[in-house]
Amino acid sequence: MVTGGAQGIGAATVRRLVSEGARVACIDLDDRVRSVTQMSGGDTLAFVADVSDEAMLREAILEVEQRWGRLDILVNNAGIDGKPALLADGERRDFDRVIDVNLRASWHAMKFVLPGMIARGGGSIVNIASAAALVGFETLSIYAASKAAVVGMTRSAALEYGRHNVRVNALCPGGVLTPLALSFMDTGTTAAWADKHALKRFAEPHEIAAAVAFLASDDASFITGAAIPVDGGMTAH
């Protein structure tokens, strides 16, 4: 299951996992998630729902497990940036919404898939965090806090469930050319952000999806509890 699968990293991840033979379910508030699954060409399910709604998320996961008999991979990708602001200028409602989507929904999804993974002898969870969880960026304190919490949760869960052969890892992308990222940047801002990367460019969504597919696969069978930068050298400074 991929959360936030309608566009950007999520849509690219759906396509990549399908290309590698996986049956993929995805959930997104954006109804374009249906076209992503239809165009992927594989055995897919789409759910139009808010991941921050605990009941909706639980229902989607239960339906996947009932229909396919198993859920081996969870990719917690759904996320929002919130409104960029200095910490003292931030608003409580923005804080609550970012935490609900970026952290609480990931926690719920993990809670709901773990019993089945344990019963079936293992699984892989990939949480999409951010380079902002590893280094500081001005005006992103709320977003950074949510993603740093995801990294901490990832490491704790890896220790708790490794004995059940459940691997839990986080990816920390830098700038990625997604509608979410581009929505709050003009041309000058985009160039300045690209320059923060050692490679002097943004990632394409498929480059992050490739890392997700690796962590989800048996090729990463001895990797757990890791927070891996996929950031073009942004955090190498």
Instruction: Write the DSSP string, 73-134.
Output: EEEE--------B-GGG--HHHHHHHHIIIIIHHHHHHHHHHHHHHHTT-EEEEEE--GGGT
* 35 pLDDT above the threshold of 80: yes
Range with lowest mean pLDDT among 150-154, 164-168, 193-197: 193-197
pLDDT computed for residue 216 by the predictor: 98
The helix/strand count (H/E) of the chain reads as: 9, 7
Per-residue model confidence as pLDDT tens digits over 201-211: 999 999 999 99
- Give the pLDDT of residue 183: 67
CATH of the domain at 118: 3.40.50.720
Q: Which of 37-46, 145-154, 168-177 has the lowest mean pLDDT?
A: 37-46
Question: Structurally, how many domains does the chain consist of?
Answer: 1
Residue 41, pLDDT score: 83
Q: Which two tokens stand for residue 92?
A: 């409580």
Q: Which of 3-7, 101-105, 150-154 has the lowest mean pLDDT?
A: 3-7
Q: In whole angstroms, what is the distance from residue 106 CA to residue 77 CA?
A: 8
- Domain that residue 95 falls in: 2-236
Residue 182 reports pLDDT greater than 80: no
pLDDT band with cut points at 50, 70 and 90 for residue 92: very high
Report whether pLDDT(232) > 80: yes
Residue 40: pLDDT over 90: no
Q: Is the pLDDT of residue 187 over 70?
A: no
- Distance separating alpha carbons of residues 162 and 172, to the nearest angstrom: 21
Distance CA 52, CA 69 (A): 25
Structure tokens at 127: 């949480």
Q: Where are the beta strands (DSSP E) in the chain?
A: 2-3, 24-28, 44-48, 73-76, 123-128, 166-173, 227-230
The residue assigned the tokens 């993929």 is 24
Confidence of residue 215 (pLDDT cuts 50, 70, 90): very high
**pLDDT for the residue numbered 27:** 97
Q: What residues are labeled active site?
A: 143
Phi-psi sector, 21: left (phi>0), alpha (psi -120 to 50), beta: left
